[in-house]
């Protein structure tokens, strides 16, 4: 019985290694295709599509940073003992979770420059702000749940050791909460990446904008949007692997 179990475990392990090897080879092949696209159809369309790649990556990067900071601060405020702080942070969360990110993007880009706000933002700034605030609202609930999942005994022990609220937050609560928020934050990061395509609607020249422009000029709809799918996947998959790596590196804090 033990021998059969060992053989089965070995087969499963070999299968996992095989799948990982295939994914690595496929990812390397995809990166090579993006770096040096052949001139054969449909890859002849890649140079035009890739003109918006830097914009998509920049939107994802800065939007993710803003979302993380907003989620962390708002999540802590949502767990505060102050009714005022909980109420203010709760209003923000409910507004941004309860309305469409597309409407939020349009409101920030088209409404803020008008009276009485008179705040003019570039398309890129509006995109980062909308993405960061929207995803940050979802992330705030993740942070709040992670903080509340900390065993009550550890909080009481910290109080017994005469730790201040700030010290307890840094030494006891956040190290454990970060481990718990990494998996859902990985999902939110992928959602943020996919939401960057909406920025094309405010004339931001990302890969989706380039795809729409190509569709109007050369047609070839199937080829254009199939390539677009692969481009988004090749950006998203390394993000997933990075989050999994961070999870393993932070296991000591559990």
- Read off the pLDDT of residues 73-88 as tens digits, 9 standing for 90 and up: 999 888 888 889 889 9
Complete domains list, the chain, with CATH: 53-253 (1.10.3720.10)
Q: What is the pLDDT of residue 165?
A: 73
When the pLDDT of each residue in the chain is averaged and rounded to a whole number, the result is 80
Helix axes 53-78, 83-98, angle to 10 degrees: 150
Residue 249 has pLDDT above 50, yes or no: yes
Output 130 or 185, whichever has higher pLDDT. Answer: 130
Query: For residue 46, which of 201, 212, 224 has the smallest C-alpha distance?
Result: 224
Give residue 216's pLDDT.
83
User: Nearest Cα to 60, choosing from 152, 134, 127?
Assistant: 127
- The answer to whether 74 and 93 are in contact (CB under 8 A) is yes
Which residue has better confidence, 51 or 123?
A: 123
- If you average pLDDT over each of 44-48, 107-111, 205-209, which comes out highest? 107-111
Percent of the chain with pLDDT over 70: 80
Report field, pTM of the whole predicted structure over 0.75: yes
The burial of 185, by beta-carbon neighbours within 10 Å (0-12 exposed, 13-18 middle, 19 or more buried), is given as buried
């Amino acid at each position: 019985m033990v021998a059969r179990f060992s053989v089965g475990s070995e087969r499963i392990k070999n299968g996992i290694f095989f799948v990982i090897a295939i994914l690595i080879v496929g990812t390397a092949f995809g990166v090579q295709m993006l770096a040096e696209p052949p001139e054969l159809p449909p890859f002849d369309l890649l140079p035009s599509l890739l003109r918006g790649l830097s914009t998509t990556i920049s939107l994802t990067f800065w939007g993710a940073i803003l979302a993380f900071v907003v989620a962390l601060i708002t999540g802590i405020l949502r767990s505060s003992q102050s009714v005022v702080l909980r109420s203010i942070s709760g209003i923000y969360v409910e507004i941004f979770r309860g309305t469409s990110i597309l409407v939020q993007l349009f409101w920030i880009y088209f409404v803020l420059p008008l009276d009485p706000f008179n705040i003019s933002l570039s398309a890129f700034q509006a995109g980062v702000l909308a993405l960061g605030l929207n995803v940050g609202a979802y992330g705030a609930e993740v942070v709040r749940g992670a903080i509340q999942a900390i065993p009550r005994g550890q909080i009481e022990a910290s109080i017994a050791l005469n730790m201040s609220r700030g010290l307890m937050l840094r030494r006891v609560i956040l190290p454990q909460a970060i481990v718990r928020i990494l998996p859902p934050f990985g999902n939110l990061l992928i959602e943020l990446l996919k939401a960057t395509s909406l920025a094309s609607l405010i004339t931001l020249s990302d890969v989706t904008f380039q795809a729409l422009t190509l569709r109007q000029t050369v047609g070839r709809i199937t080829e254009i949007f199939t390539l677009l799918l692969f481009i988004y996947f090749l950006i998203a998959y390394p993000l997933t692997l990075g989050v999994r790596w961070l999870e393993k590196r932070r296991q000591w804090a559990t």
